[in-house]
Amino acid sequence: MSEQPIDTCMEKIVSLCKRRGFVFQSSEIYGGFNGFWDYGPYGIALKRAVERQWWLYMVEKRNNVVGLDSSIICHPKVWKASGHVDRFGDIMCDCKKCKTRFRVDQMPDPTTCTNCGSKDLTPPREFNLMMKTYVGPVFDEDHIAYLRAETCQPIFLDFHSIRIATRMQLPFGIAQVGKAFRNEITPRMFTFRSREFSQMEMEFFCADEGSMEWFEYWRQERWNFYLNVLKFPVEKLHLHPHDKLAHYAKAAVDIEYEFPFGWGELEGIHHRGTWDMSQHQQFSEQDLQYLDQSNNTRYLPTVVETSVGLDRMVLAVLCNAYDEDRAPTQKEGMEDDVRVVLHFPATVAPVQVAFLPLSKKLNQNAQDLQEKFLGRYRTELDVTGNIGKRYRRQDEIGTPYCVTFDFDSLEDNAVTVRERDSMAQERIPIEGLRAYLDEKVLG
């Protein structure tokens, strides 16, 4: 990406997202609602495609990981057992002078306001991040339930049902994608820290012996995903081992991405020992041990977890894709000037192939051609404005291929395919278009 001041770059991404209908504030006509976001048509196409890549990589391309879609609200005791009701919170303090609120663990000097330098701070207070609701007819303490704060807990609860139903034996993993809710005190940086977000988590159940090898394996796999599937440059990624480990954890590492506002956690890979299973065993009073038929022993499975926020991943994909280049677009009927372009990998681009008739008279021909590809790729028919403007519009939403149907197409049965990054144009016979695009788009 061209060098730009960070705020400007982030502001441009946020404004592009709104302008082109990727992501905008929830409840905007009421002034917005902090920490909640809506994905418009291109945003949801991008988000679904990113999720799809994760699911393919983590579940469908493996024999040892299966899927789950659990309820968002589960028995309130689950969150007691997991520790979320009693301990899941941030320690915050407020500056009495400028009224800024801080997470104490993120302040360089917890006695001094990071914003205005004042020493007049409120004492640190704990805020629980669980979102509450009531289930049943009476709104009292006995009917409190929680929106899940992470998607992994139901995976632990369903471990044995899934094991029995699938006849899976250790080691194997269970993956889930779904909404999580946290009453974040300071939602910020666009969708990076939201109050409602989607998580993609995989819990890998194994024997304790050999579990560190699985931890290393999954760390490497997740790292490879960012490089090979999302095509992030290696210098934008960074492994950050946790300085302080939870008492039950053997190892934990974050994969961080360099956002325009600085390095931020994308994903955590955690060795959680038998903590989760033993907590649920204790609170549910059920025997959750696994019978290992290979050596006839019973034990609680050890868990290695990979956990990432889908919205955060999508934000990283957007930041990584955003670019402005000085485009030699005279041949496309435009002046040479700054071209905004999203360099998405074709697999996740919201529109993979756009179909453009050169003239209004060819609209139907372009549409007929597009219809042959509906459901195969994510497509769009773009009929308004001169062709140069339409190419720019497609660049701005990251469409990797534009197929232009012109008057010659009526004679030679060929179309012009324009590639987003190089802006190179190639004449392709309509007969061979599917094979050509399959290779480029589907890989």
Query: Which stretches of the chain bind ligand ATP, using CB under 6 A?
Result: 150, 182, 184, 193-194, 197, 199, 265-268, 307-309, 311-312
Provide the minimum distance between the beta carbon of 241 and ligand ATP in the complex, in angstroms, as a whole number: 13
In the complex with ligand ATP, the residue whose CB is nearer, 265 or 396, is: 265
Determine contact, residues 71/133, Cβ cutoff 8 Å: no
Phi-psi region of 264 (alpha: psi -120 to 50; beta: other; left: phi over 0): beta
DSSP state at residue 139: -
Provide the minimum distance between the beta carbon of 329 and ligand ATP in the complex, in angstroms, as a whole number: 37
Provide the minimum distance between the beta carbon of 243 and ligand ATP in the complex, in angstroms, as a whole number: 13
In the complex with ligand ATP, the residue whose CB is nearer, 150 or 395, is: 150
In the complex with ligand ATP, the residue whose CB is nearer, 1 or 249, is: 249
In the complex with ligand ATP, the residue whose CB is nearer, 242 or 361, is: 242
In the complex with ligand ATP, the residue whose CB is nearer, 178 or 357, is: 178
DSSP state at residue 230: S
In the complex with ligand ATP, the residue whose CB is nearer, 32 or 429, is: 32
The residue sitting closest to ligand ATP, measured at its beta carbon, is 309
Q: Give the long-range contacts of residues 135-138, CB within 8 A, separation 24 or more.
A: 135/73
In the complex with ligand ATP, the residue whose CB is nearer, 182 or 280, is: 182
Determine contact, residues 398/342, Cβ cutoff 8 Å: yes
Give the Cα separation of 43 and 427 in Å (integer).
31
H-helix or E-strand spanning residue 388:
helix 387-396
Provide the minimum distance between the beta carbon of 122 and ligand ATP in the complex, in angstroms, as a whole number: 21
Q: 3-state secondary structure string, 292-306?
A: ECCCCEEECCEEEEE
Burial class (CB within 10 angstroms; exposed 0-12, middle 13-18, buried 19+) of 175: buried
In the complex with ligand ATP, the residue whose CB is nearer, 185 or 300, is: 185
Alpha helices in 88-231 (DSSP H): 153-166, 211-224
Q: Which two tokens stand for residue 316?
A: 């990283």
How far, in Å, are 76, 80, 254 from residue 263 at the CA level? 35, 33, 11
Provide the minimum distance between the beta carbon of 357 and ligand ATP in the complex, in angstroms, as a whole number: 41
Give the Cα separation of 274 and 249 in Å (integer).
9
Determine contact, residues 339/325, Cβ cutoff 8 Å: yes
Q: Which of 198, 233, 261, 186 is nearest to 4 (CA)?
A: 261
3-state SS, residue 92: strand
DSSP state at residue 382: -
In the complex with ligand ATP, the residue whose CB is nearer, 197 or 290, is: 197
